[in-house]
Amino acid sequence: MLAVPKPTKRRKEPRPPRDEFELQELAESLEMAREEGKTLNFVIWRNSDPLRGTIEKMDPNTKTVHIKEPYGEVRKVPFLDILRVGDTEY
């Protein structure tokens, strides 16, 4: 009888490491942008395209940020998946 090889295990790619200071700065800048209603560009981990929109809500229970895109759809992104945030030039 022929032996069938076991499939190789896939390893998840870990998030880039960030310290508490970076996370605190990110949270403060997101809160300020939410209060001002600014449109921002978001770089999301494991997402090839940047996300553009305004912050509608920051949910501390689920640790998600609700981002409203220009065409009206609301995307819920985990806070730790947001790598960078920048102002738009519009």
Tell me the pLDDT tens digit for each residue of 20-42.
Answer: 999 999 999 999 999 999 999 99
In whole angstroms, what is the distance from residue 42 CA to residue 52 CA? Answer: 6
| CB contact at 8 A, 30 and 65 | yes
Determine the pLDDT at residue 65.
Answer: 96
Q: Which CATH class is domain 20-87?
A: mainly beta
The mean predicted confidence, pLDDT, of the chain is: 89
List the chain domain ranges: 20-87
Backbone Cα Rg of the chain: 18
| CB contact at 8 A, 52 and 39 | yes
pTM above 0.95, yes or no: no
Determine the pLDDT at residue 90.
Answer: 47
**Mean pLDDT value of segment 43-47:** 91
Strands (E), 10-73: 39-44, 51-59, 64-68
